[in-house]
């Protein structure tokens, strides 16, 4: 697999690389349980974001409810301290439920890319969980970083601008995840290194899907909004951050 080729557009899109101080802290094995836990939750939140977009913007009640039911056991476990479901059995069910339908071409594209994204994020969720279990890292609820909140606070409050901005935020979160996996990989043991590198291709595609959807729904060129969110994102990444998480800024 040609990693530099996958990474090149991601690095151009992001306005700053991950600070060395974050990499130094993240590579310290004592922070691995925290990092894996946050990574696990981020995978679920990525799936949840995609699910909520389809539910909100594609008016098909039955299909939307099926998506909600799909994520429910994962959410109950991760956010409400529910019992750990049989994730292997859940993985097998994926794709068998009713998927949302629409006649609108843009809606169709949203459903297709978001359903694929949800499948992939839930698969990543399970992969992280498996690694945690093998290393006897228990799942403990942790607080979210300022990162996503910081970007979403700049989302405009009327449609379709809200949707456009949310899609651009999605693109940045996916692109940063991709960049961080690549930055972390060289400092890990063989198993984790392989795992992080295996995530690059899908996360790079997710960022491009979000960006393409944003441009398709917008009547204007989205470049100025992309630039603005790029600045906000780079600020969150390159300024001191009290909390250490997968998407946090410079550790203090
Ligand atoms: Fe993922
Ligand atoms: Fe992703």
Q: What is the CATH number of the domain that holds 160?
A: 1.20.1260.10
**Least distant ligand from the CA of 122:** 1
Q: Is the peptide bond before 112 cis (omega within 30 degrees of 0)?
A: no
In the predicted model, is pLDDT for residue 93 greater than 90? no
**Least distant ligand from the CA of 207:** 2
Measured CA angle at 200 (ends 197, 206), to 5 deg: 160
**Least distant ligand from the CA of 126:** 1
Q: How far is the CA of 217 from the centre of ligand 1 (A)?
A: 24
96 falls in which pLDDT band (50, 70, 90)? low
**Least distant ligand from the CA of 205:** 2
How far is CA 180 from its chain centroid? 12
For residue 251, list its beta bridge partners. 241
Instruction: Give the range among 22-36, 91-105, 128-142, 222-236 with minimum mean pLDDT.
Output: 91-105
Instruction: Give the range among 61-65, 124-128, 194-198, 222-226 with minimum mean pLDDT.
Output: 61-65
CA distance 189 to 36: 14
Q: How far is the CA of 43 from the centre of ligand 1 (A)?
A: 5
In the predicted model, is pLDDT for residue 1 greater than 60? no
Q: How confident is the model at residue 128, as a pLDDT?
A: 97
In the predicted model, is pLDDT for residue 38 greater than 80? yes
Q: How confident is the model at residue 97, as a pLDDT?
A: 64
* Over residues 157-162, mean pLDDT: 94
Per the structure, the complete domain to which residue 44 belongs is given by 3-251
Where helices occur in the chain by DSSP H, the ranges are 3-13, 20-26, 32-57, 61-79, 87-93, 105-134, 147-152, 161-184, 190-217, 223-238
In the predicted model, is pLDDT for residue 160 greater than 60? yes
Q: How far is the CA of 181 from the centre of ligand 1 (A)?
A: 10
With 0-12 / 13-18 / 19 or more C-beta atoms within 10 angstroms meaning exposed / middle / buried, residue 178 is: buried
Give the number of residues written for the chain.
Answer: 252
* Over residues 67-76, mean pLDDT: 90
Q: Please state, for a pLDDT cut of 70, what percent of the chain lies above it.
A: 97
Query: Parallel, antiparallel, or unpaired: how do β-strands 240-241 and 250-251 relate?
Result: parallel
**Least distant ligand from the CA of 208:** 2
CA distance 226 to 20: 25
Give the residue carrying structure tokens 């994204």: 117
Q: How far is the CA of 57 from the centre of ligand 1 (A)?
A: 22
Q: How far is the CA of 230 from the centre of ligand 1 (A)?
A: 20
159 falls in which pLDDT band (50, 70, 90)? very high
In the predicted model, is pLDDT for residue 86 greater than 90? no
**Least distant ligand from the CA of 204:** 2
CA distance 177 to 233: 12
Total domains in the chain come to 1
Whether the CB-CB separation of 238 and 250 falls below 8 Å is answered with yes
Take residue 245 and report the two structure tokens written for it: 């998480």
């Amino acid at each position: 697999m040609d990693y530099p080729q996958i990474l090149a557009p991601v690095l151009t899109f992001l306005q700053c690389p991950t600070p060395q101080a974050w990499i130094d802290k993240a590579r310290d094995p004592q922070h691995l349980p925290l990092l894996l836990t946050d990574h696990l939750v981020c995978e679920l939140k990525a799936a949840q974001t995609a699910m909520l977009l389809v539910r909100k913007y594609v008016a098909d009640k039955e299909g939307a409810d099926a998506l909600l039911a799909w994520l429910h056991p994962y959410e109950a476990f991760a956010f409400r301290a529910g019992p750990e479901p049989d994730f292997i059995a859940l993985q097998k069910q994926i794709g068998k439920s009713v998927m949302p339908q629409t006649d609108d071409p843009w809606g169709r594209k949203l459903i297709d890319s978001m359903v694929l994204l949800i499948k992939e994020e839930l698969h990543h969720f399970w992969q992280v969980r498996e690694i945690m279990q093998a290393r006897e890292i228990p799942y403990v609820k942790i607080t979210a970083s300022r990162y996503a909140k910081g970007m979403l606070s700049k989302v405009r409050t009327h449609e379709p601008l809200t949707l456009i901005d949310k899609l651009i935020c999605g693109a940045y979160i996916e692109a940063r995840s991709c960049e961080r996996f690549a930055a972390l990989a060289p400092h890990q043991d063989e198993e984790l290194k392989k795992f992080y590198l295996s995530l690059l291709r899908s996360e790079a595609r997710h960022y491009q899907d979000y960006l393409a959807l944003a441009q398709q729904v917008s009547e204007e060129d989205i470049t100025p909004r992309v630039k603005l969110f790029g600045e906000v994102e780079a600020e969150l990444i390159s300024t001191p951050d009290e909390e250490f998480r997968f998407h946090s800024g410079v550790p203090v």
